[in-house]
Structure 1
Amino acid sequence: MYMLNDKDTLLGHPKGLFLLFSTELWERFSYYAMRAILVIYLTDKTVNGGMGWTTAEALNLYGIYTGLVYFTPLIGGWLSDNYISKRRSLILGGSLMAMGQFVLALPDGFLPILPLHSFYLGLAFIIVGNGLFKPNVSSMLGDLYPANDKRRDGAFTIFYMGINVGSLLAGIVVGVVTGIMGWKSGFFAAGIGMLISLVIQMLFAQRYLGDIGKIPGAKLALENNKSKKEPLTKIEIDRLKVIMIMGLFVVVFWAGFEQAGGLMNLYSHDYTDRVIANFEVPSSWFQSLNPFFIIILAPILAIIWGKMGPKEPNTPVKFALALFFLALGFLCMIGAVMEQGGDLTVKTSMMWLVGAYFFHTLGELCLSPIGMAMITKLAPLRLASLMMGSWFAFNALSNYIAGVVGAHVETLGALDIFAGIAISSIIAGVVLLAFSNTLIRWMHQSEDGSCSHIHPENQTDNDEVATENKHQLV
């Protein structure tokens, strides 16, 4: 386990948390700035600087792109654990992502290749770079805290607010700059955000992270075990099973949630009355509703969990709540479609979208930061980045499914899609509640303070089994 000076803290947390907070904030600004305009850019007329694609083509591309963005961290996490190290992966990945955004921002014809090929090249740089960057920021955050430190969940909540500050700024900034200078300026703004993230990391990482992330996790684990490669224990296998099973429910949640960047994004642009006192609200600004609600609701929800004390819901129950909130959000979207009454020329109230993003945000807060914290509790040290990558791989499948589902809007209709997602979410939530006790048992006390998770690289198998026998859950 990495250790830092306990006195080097801010607000009760290691200062490295706030460095990683800032690094992730600007990386997320970059990602969400690009995501906020991608589908609209693809479907806009070429005379306006868009690509002129059909809705189905754009949403299919969106699903493939976002799916790959969340799949490559599985490969990047494995490379970081075994060969490159987290710190090097982060710098290399961030550099590739910045290059990708700037390639997208180049005027057509600037490179000696077709504009479409230039577009795909920019996406490829972002996809590969994200694979190296994304799993390592989260896993280094877990490395800041001892295995039994109760501050870990709170740290991920603070970290998650950084993600959403970046997302909030992204929607607002890209809405302004693209309205003035066109689509390409939005990609350029995204590239600037990624450069800021890199500069922050390069200037302050050594000061506030020390040696964290410098040595590949697998090599460090071998050193801690006196160069012996230990097999997985039964407790580790049980905990890994929990990660895999919980990941299936994550797929259901994000497949619905990620309609925000696809079908819901197009709905806000084409079918929502966005005029307030003669001012037309840019459709990309609706992408900032989610992070805005995150910033407002995260501390409130944290206080509620704290007030509940021992009655605080466990991780599987929180995931089930997330699925139920997702369903409520899509009930709002069903209301929007019903307001149209089948007439696509009717513009619906913005309040339907506001309500949808509000409930989706509550669901996200019950799932995403809780899930990342769960990975750092359950994953063995030598597999930390790989398992964080696998967590994002579930998101990859979700995003691909989201794109495929959204692309059927022209044949199924928005009402059927929104209703289908709501029903699927409710069913998944009920199933998860039914199996929650089994999942808690397989976590082996990682959910309570009496026997917090300890990486087996720092403890012998015999000691771990003895601890398990002593504190066996009923």
Structure 2
Amino acid sequence: MHNPEDRSFIGHPRGLAYIAFTEAWERFSYYGMQALLVLYMVNRLLHPGHIERIAGFGPFRHLIEIFRGPLTVQPLASTIFGLYTGLVYLTPIAGGFIADRFLGRTRTITIGALLMSAGHFLMAFDVTFLLALTCLLTGVGCFKGNLASQVGALYPIGDNRRADAFQIYYLFINGGVIAAPLIAGTLGEKVGWHYGFGAAGVGMLIGLAIYLAGRKYLPPDSPVVEKNASTPKPRLSKRERTAILLLLLLLPVLTIAVIGNQQIFNAYLVWAQEHANLTFSGYQLPTTWLITLDSILSVSCLAGAVVFWRLWSKKYPEPAEITKISIGSIIAVTGFLALAAGTAIAAANSAKVPIGWLITFHLLNSIGFANVFPVSLALYARVAPAALSATIIGIYYLAFFAANNLVGWIGGFLEKMPAINFWLLHSALCGTAGIIFFVAGRFFGHLLAPGDNENAQSKMNRGLRSAAQPQPKTLTTNKH
């Protein structure tokens, strides 16, 4: 039975161990499949002999090409990837509603895990490709948000271990993200695509088994909360309304800022497979290992950013969140400039781009986005009025829905423009967003600054706790 005072797992309730290991395997399965998706479509599925076998693909492609025009293999694969990864940020809204209103979290999570497993296994057959993607999208929606909500429910109100619990939870997530390309990605590229997808499906089943085994240590599903209709809803102040408006206006800017990072799972892998020299110590690295490299650097840079700003604050005033986001976006610009420079030098020498340029890109990009992803989430969580906090966070993730769809569209340009210009385009997008964030901070930053009343302080505390919660591509990958 769940005991909030339990400290048997490194000072935390035992249920945290089961949730963390479950989430690690779920992320292993999700990112294992995502690392292979574009490469699988470009190298096999969307070519003659396979594409005509996909059930329902004719009408599906026709619908896409109504808006995009005729598409060849790489742009078509990029568009499908963008639709899939974009919808991943919408389906958890429906999953949360189903859990809260109808099935409860446990049943919804179980259904989600089974749907995801089925989706991975269905990827083994050409005919069920679209059905597989549908199962995966539905499964992620049922699984993701509901499992994360159980982390907070392990602790009583006021328990300071809650923030630490989300950090532990996040570390397990990144463990799954790092391992996924090494195992599922390597199997898919070196042995057979279906072995990689199968490994992802097995990983999800392992996660489900862990979750069900630890069910007795998890909190019960939240009871129905009766609303007191006689309690008046608090009215928003003018300052709060203005701050919300500013947050909404900044959403398109955030969308532009994250396009480059989200492209790593899409056109970047296709480009690297064809134009990068991935030989290391005489061994040809699988292309999907670049995702593992990115994940490792992302985790390291996130930790480094925390340490850096703590040391900075001891001597200088710490910048506001919007300023940090601006700084991060500008730093990310240099990563794409490195890709463009490496491409130009390699082209001049009629050679492939050395892996050193790719490592430089991942390092600079990870440094930049360590100051974009968690900081932007913290900003929206802190500024959101208590009465609209959940709504504002839901709206925040619409930026990632839009960004991933744009990633699919822009990724199609890789076939139509020189690679140098392609990476300069992404550099320009990050730079434009960084400049807009900087200008907005200079002229309107006071509207987003913490208030000087108790309510503002409590909202800030909630924001900091929310920032510790793991998010989908998110911070890694969601990057992922």
Normalised by the shorter chain, which TM-score bucket?
Answer: 0.7 to 0.9
CA deviation string 1:111-132 (max 9, x = no partner): xxxx34x101000111112122
Match of 1:22 in 2: 21
SS of the aligned residue for 1:92 comes to helix
Q: What is the deviation of 1:231?
A: 3.7
Q: CA deviation at 1:83?
A: 4.4
| 2:222 aligned residue (215, 228, 232) | 215
Name 2:87's counterpart in structure 1.
68
SS of the equivalent of 1:332 reads: helix
- Point out the more displaced range, 32-41 or 160-169: 160-169
Q: 1:355 aligns with which of 356, 360, 365?
A: 360
Question: Match of 1:124?
Answer: 134
Q: Quick check: 145-154 or 289-298, which moved more? A: 145-154
Query: In the alignment, which residue of structure 2 is the partner of 1:43?
Result: 42
Contact 2:322 2:376 in 1 (8 A): no
Q: CA, structure 1 residues 300+62, in 2 after alignment: closer, same or farther (shift >3 Å)?
A: same
- 1:349: Cα distance to partner? 0.5
- Tell me the residue number matched to 2:66: none
Q: Which residue of 2 aligns with 1:468?
A: none
1:303 aligns with 2:307: yes
Quote the residue 1:286 is aligned against.
Answer: 290
Q: SS where residue 70 of structure 1 aligns? A: coil
The CA distance in 1 between the partners of 2:190 and 2:417, in whole Å, is: 36
d(CA) in 1 for partners of 2:103 and 2:382? 23
Displacement of 1:168: 0.8
* Counterpart in the other structure of 1:159: 169
1:460 is aligned to none
CA contact (8 A) 2:383 2:459 kept: yes
Deviations 1:241-266 (A, max 9, x none): 56545543431232111111111101
Q: List per-residue Cα deviations over 1:370-422 (Å, max 9, x = no partner).
A: 44555665667887666554433321211110110010122222222211221
CA distance in 2, matches of 1:230, 1:80: 27
Instruction: Summarize the Cα distance change of 1:16–1:177 in structure 2 as closer, same or farther, 3 Å threshold.
Output: same
The alpha carbon displacement at 1:157 in A equals 4.3
- SS state at 2:88 partner: helix
- For residue 182 of structure 1, report the CA deviation from its aligned partner: 0.2
CA distance in 1, matches of 2:231, 2:105: 20
Tell me: CA distance 1:39–1:231, structure 2 relative to 1, closer, same or farther (3 Å).
same
Contact 2:273–2:287, Cα closer than 8 Å, also in 1: yes
Partner of 2:177, secondary structure, is: helix
Q: Does 1:367 align with 2:367?
A: no
Change (3 A) 1:267 1:94: same
Aligned match of 1:339 in 330, 339, 345? 345
Q: Quick one: structure 1 residues 160 and 187, their matched pair in 2 at CA, closer, same or farther if it must change by over 3 Å?
A: same
1:226 partner amino acid: N
Aligned CA distance change for structure 1 residues 272 and 381 (closer, same or farther; 3 Å): same
Structure 1's 230 and 288: CA in aligned 2 closer, same or farther, altered over 3 A?
farther
Question: Does the 8 A contact of 1:319 with 1:366 survive in 2?
Answer: yes
- 1:170-217 CA-to-partner distances (Å, cap 9, x unmatched) read 01102332245300011111111222222232232441x423xx227x
Using a 3 Å threshold, how does the CA distance of structure 1 residues 46 and 146 change in structure 2: closer, same or farther? closer
Pairing 1:26-105 to 2, within 5 Å after superposition = 26-45=25-44, 54-105=73-124
Q: Contact between 2:324 and 2:372, CA under 8 Å: does it hold in 1?
A: yes
| 1:170 counterpart residue number | 180
Please report how far the alpha carbon of residue 439 of structure 1 lies from its aligned counterpart in structure 2 after TM superposition: 5.4
Query: Which residue pairs with 1:192 in the alignment?
Result: 202
For the pair 1:264 / 2:242, whether they are aligned, the reply is no
Structure 2's unaligned 5+ residue stretches are: 52-71, 463-480
Give me the whole-angstrom Cα distance separating, in 2, the residues matched to 1:333 and 1:440: 37
Partner residue, 1:134: 144
The letter for the 1-side match of 2:408 is G
Provide the C-alpha distance between the structure 2 equivalents of 1:97 and 1:38, rounded to a whole number of angstroms.
Answer: 15
CA displacement at 1:138 relative to structure 2: 3.9
Partner Cα separation in structure 2 for residue 446 and residue 194 of structure 1: 47
Query: Which aligned pairs between 1:291-440 and structure 2 lie closer than 5 A?
Result: 291-309=295-313, 311-341=317-347, 346-373=351-378, 387-436=392-441, 438=444
Change over 3 Å in CA distance of 1:270–1:395 after alignment to 2: same
Name stretches of at least 5 consecutive residues in structure 1 with no aligned partner: 109-114, 457-474
| 1:81–1:384 contact (8 Å) kept in structure 2 | no
Q: Give the Cα separation in 2 of the matches to 1:149 and 1:39.
A: 43
In 1: Cα distance, 2:172 partner to 2:107 partner: 22
Partner amino acid, structure 1, of 2:219? G
1:401 and 1:32, CA in 2 relative to 1: closer, same or farther beyond 3 A? same
Cα separation, partners in 2 of 1:286 and 1:4, compared to 1, 3 Å: same
C-alpha deviation, 1:347, in angstroms: 0.9
CA distance in 1, matches of 2:152, 2:245: 20
Q: CA deviation at 1:436?
A: 3.3
Instruction: State the distance in 2 between where 1:302 and 1:154 align.
Output: 14
Identity %: 26
On the 8 A contact 1:41/1:51 being kept in 2, the answer is: no
Question: Alpha-carbon deviations, 1:418-461, whole Å to 9, x = none?
Answer: 112212212212222333374564465499998222899xxxxx
Once residues 379 and 162 of structure 2 are traced to their aligned partners in structure 1, the CA distance between those partners, rounded to angstroms, is 10
Secondary structure (helix, strand or coil) at the match of 1:226 reads coil
User: How many residues end up aligned between the 2 structures?
Assistant: 436
- Tell me whether 318-327 or 78-87 shows the greater mean CA deviation: 78-87
Choose 151-160 or 124-133, whichever is displaced more: 151-160
Structure 1: how far apart are the matches of 2:375 and 2:216?
Answer: 28
Q: What is the deviation of 1:267? A: 1.5
8 Å contact from structure 2 (residues 154, 219) kept in 1? no
CA contact under 8 A between 1:381 and 1:455: conserved in structure 2?
no
What letter corresponds to residue 76 of structure 1 in structure 2? G
Aligned equivalents of 2:390, 2:309: Cα separation in 1: 28
How many angstroms does 1:269 deviate by? 0.7
SS at match of 1:44: helix
Corresponding residue number in structure 1 for 2:476 = none
Whole-Å Cα distance in 1 between the matches of residues 136 and 153 of structure 2?
A: 26
